[in-house]
A and B are shown apart, each in its own frame.
Chain A
C-alpha cells in the first residue's frame, strides 16, 4: 500500500497566516452586526475536522461561531426508521448489513447493536459491494443493505444494485434511507429562528452533484456559500473566502475544493443514481420533522431489490424524546452544550439523540473533543 499524506493541508505555519487574515475580516464584520458571525458547516465531516484539529480555539473568540449543520446521515435518522431496521434484522432469514456508524443509533426498542446482541444477524460492512458478496455466499438468506447517506454514498449503492441486477442475484435488497441535502438546506433557511451568515458547502456531496444546485442559496436567500474540502487548511481557506464575500457584499457559490469537485459534478455517478432512485414525497428527519422531497426511494423497476417492497417493514413513526433538543442543534438555534441533556442524560455511551452517536455528530464531537478543554 502506498499512501500520500495530506500533511501539506495541515501546515501550522500556513494555518497561523490564514487565521490572521480571517481575524482581520471577521472583526469588523462582527462589529457591524453587533454579534458573532454565524457560519454553518453543512457536512458532518467538516464538523469532525473542526473539533479534531481544534480549529475553534484558533479562531477569534466571540467573533465567529460555527453552526453545526444537518450533514451527518446517521444523526438525522428518525427513531422509527431504526425500529424498522431492527424489525427487519430480527427476521431469522435476514442478514442485515450496515455501515458501522449506524449500529449505535438509538431506536425506541434499542439499537441495531442491541438487536445483534439478542441474536439478530447484523454485520458491519465497509461498502455495499461487501453486502452483495455476502448475498452471493448465502443464497438461502435475504441480505439487506442499510443504504444511508447523502449524494456521497448514493452512487455506490446505485451501482451495487445495478451489479446485482446484472448478476441476477435474487436475495439482495436495500433498505433505502438515502437523503438529499438541497431541500434540507432550504428548510433550514426557511426556518424563522435561524441566523446564518454563510455556508461551508459539503465537499464529497458536491463531488457528485457539482456547484449548480447551490445557486439558490446565493440567488434567492442571499447567503454566500463556499464548497470546502475536509483538511483543516481547506476549512480555514474556505472560511476566509466566505468572509471575503461578506466583506465585499457578494453572495456567490465558490468552490475551494476544486482539486476534487468538478463544476458540473460526476455525470456517470448521477446517471446511475437517476436510473435506480427517485424522490420520496416527504421524509422524516430526526429533530427537523418531515421535509418534502428530501428522501430517496428505489424506482418501481427495482422493486425486486427494495426491502420495503419485498419484506414487511412496520414503518413505525416515533416522536423524538421530549427532552431531546437535536432539532434545535441541527438548525443551529442552540449549541450542543446548551441542550438540557448534553453530557447528562445524553452521552456517547447512552445517546438519547442521534447527534451524540456518530463521531460526525455535533454533540458527540463536542463531547469527545471539547467538553472541558
Chain B
C-alpha cells in the first residue's frame, strides 16, 4: 500500500515544494485556489485585501470579526466536507450577532502527500459555499508541513461582517419568562461524523446539517428585532450553549425533553452508543432566546425559512435562584443538564 501511495504522491499530491514559496507554490495558488475563489479583491494578489470603509459603514455601525480553525476528520463526509464547514462555521459565528457576513480569509495548513484532487475538491466546496452565502474569500495563506506534522488538511477562516444599527444580542440577556427556540433537528452533524469514521460498523442515512445561518437570522430579526440571546450550537451542542446563557445571564433555563427535535436515526445512534443528542455537535443549528410575547412570531418566521422548517420551542427561562440548566425528562422526572466533562464517551456495559 505504501509503495503505491508514494508513487502516486509523486505525481499528483501536495509536496513540500508546494509550500516552498517557489514555482510549485505559485502554481498551486494560481491554478487551484485563486480561480476557485475568484473575486476582484483576491485577484489583486497583494499581501492583504483592502476593503473600503465607506462600503462597510453603509451596512451598520459595528464590525463583527471572528476566527475559527477546522480540523475535522475525515475531511469528507455525508453532506459536506471540511471546506464547507470552514465557510459556514465562520459565517455562523458572525451571523449570531445579527451581523451581515461579508469577507472571509482562508488559511490552509496542508500535510505533504495530500491528494491534489482532494484539495481541489475542498477548495471548490469552499468557493461554492461562499458564493451561495454571498460572502467573498478575499485573502489567504497556504503552508505545507511534513508528514505527521498535521492530519492531511487544517483550515483556518476568519470573517468580517457588519452589525446593523440597533441590535444588541448577548448571552447575558436571558430573562425569566423568555422562551428557547432551536431551528431544527439536533445532533445530525455529530452522528454523521461518527458514522463517517467507520469505526462503529454502523451505517445509517444521516448527513451533516452544515449550512449558513445568516439569512435565517435576518428573517428571525425582521420578525422579532429584540432577540435576547443567539448562538450557533456547534461543539458541545445545545446543552453547552444553554449553560453559557444561564451562566452569563444568571438565570435558570428549563428544557422540555419531549419537545426536542431529534431525528430517529440520531436517536437510534444515541441509544446504541450511550450519547445524548443535547450534547452532540451541530453545524447549522442555532439557539435563540426571545421574549415570550414574540415567541409565536419568531417561531413562525423561522419555520417559513428553509433552514428553520423544523424549528421548535424547547424550553423557557425560569425564575430561580441560581444559574443552571434543568430538563423535564420525557419520563416525567427532572434533572440537571451540566456542561460536558471531557468528550462524550460511550458507556461500556
A in complex with B? yes
Residue B268 contacts which of A3, A48, A371 (CB distance < 8 angstroms)?
A3
Tell me the minimal C-beta distance from B250 to chain A in angstroms.
Answer: 14
Contacts of B341 in A (CB 8 A): 347-349, 364, 368
Residue A369 contacts which of B204, B265, B338, B347 (CB distance < 8 angstroms)?
B338
Pick the interface stretch among B107-115, B132-140, B179-187, B327-335: B327-335
Pick the interface stretch among B32-40, B164-172, B195-203: B195-203
Residues 299-349 (chain B) with a chain A CB within 8 angstroms: 322, 324, 326-327, 329-336, 338, 341-343, 345-349
Contacts of B199 in A (CB 8 A): 126, 130
A57 to B204, CA, bound (A): 36
The verdict on B274 contacting chain A, using a C-beta distance below 8 Å, is yes
Tell me the minimal C-beta distance from A296 to chain B in angstroms.
Answer: 15
Tell me the minimal C-beta distance from A148 to chain B in angstroms.
Answer: 8
B196-235 to A contact mask, C-beta < 8 Å, 1/0: 0001101110000000000000000000000000000000
| Contact (A370, B336) CB under 8 Å given A1-B202, A1-B204, A73-B349 | yes
Contacts of A12 in B (CB 8 A): 330-332
A95-111 to B contact mask, C-beta < 8 Å, 1/0: 00001111110000000
| Contact (A45, B349) CB under 8 Å given A1-B204, A54-B329 | yes
B268 engages A1 (CB within 8 Å): yes
Contacts of B203 in A (CB 8 A): 1
Contacts of B265 in A (CB 8 A): 1, 3
Q: Looking across the interface, which residue of chain A has its beta carbon closest to that of B273?
A: A126
B349 engages A204 (CB within 8 Å): yes
The verdict on B264 contacting chain A, using a C-beta distance below 8 Å, is yes
Tell me the minimal C-beta distance from B266 to chain A in angstroms.
Answer: 11
The verdict on A319 contacting chain B, using a C-beta distance below 8 Å, is no
Tell me the minimal C-beta distance from B249 to chain A in angstroms.
Answer: 16
Pick the interface stretch among A149-157, A184-192, A328-336: A149-157
Contacts of A100 in B (CB 8 A): 343, 345-346, 348
A153 engages B338 (CB within 8 Å): no
The verdict on A267 contacting chain B, using a C-beta distance below 8 Å, is no
Contacts of B204 in A (CB 8 A): 1
Task: Please report the number of residue pairs spanning A and B whose Cβ atoms sit closer than 8 angstroms.
Answer: 113
The verdict on A10 contacting chain B, using a C-beta distance below 8 Å, is yes
A45 to B264, CA, bound (A): 23
Contacts of A349 in B (CB 8 A): 341-342
Contacts of B327 in A (CB 8 A): 54
Tell me the minimal C-beta distance from B83 to chain A in angstroms.
Answer: 28
B331 engages A232 (CB within 8 Å): yes
Contacts of A45 in B (CB 8 A): 347, 349
A348 to B322, CA, bound (A): 21
A149 engages B349 (CB within 8 Å): yes
A369 engages B336 (CB within 8 Å): yes
Contacts of A74 in B (CB 8 A): 348
A367 engages B338 (CB within 8 Å): yes
Contacts of B345 in A (CB 8 A): 100-101, 103-104, 124, 359
The verdict on A301 contacting chain B, using a C-beta distance below 8 Å, is no
A16 engages B332 (CB within 8 Å): yes
Tell me the minimal C-beta distance from A301 to chain B in angstroms.
Answer: 27
Tell me the minimal C-beta distance from B51 to chain A in angstroms.
Answer: 41
**6 A/B residue pairs, CB under 8 Å, sorted by A:** A3-B264, A51-B335, A54-B335, A56-B333, A370-B335, A371-B336
Additional 15 contacts, C-beta under 8 A, given A149-B348, A348-B342: A1-B268, A12-B330, A45-B347, A54-B329, A57-B335, A58-B332, A100-B346, A101-B345, A101-B348, A104-B342, A126-B346, A149-B349, A150-B349, A347-B341, A372-B324
Closest 7 CB pairs of A and B: A54-B333, A348-B341, A3-B268, A100-B345, A12-B332, A54-B335, A1-B204
Please give the residue numbers on chain B whose beta carbons come within 8 Å of chain A beta carbons, in ascending order.
Answer: 199-200, 202-204, 264-265, 267-268, 271, 274, 322, 324, 326-327, 329-336, 338, 341-343, 345-349
Please give the residue numbers on chain A whose beta carbons come within 8 Å of chain B beta carbons, in ascending order.
Answer: 1, 3, 5-6, 10, 12, 15-16, 44-45, 48, 51-58, 73-74, 99-104, 124, 126, 130, 148-150, 152-153, 204, 232, 347-349, 358-360, 364, 367-373
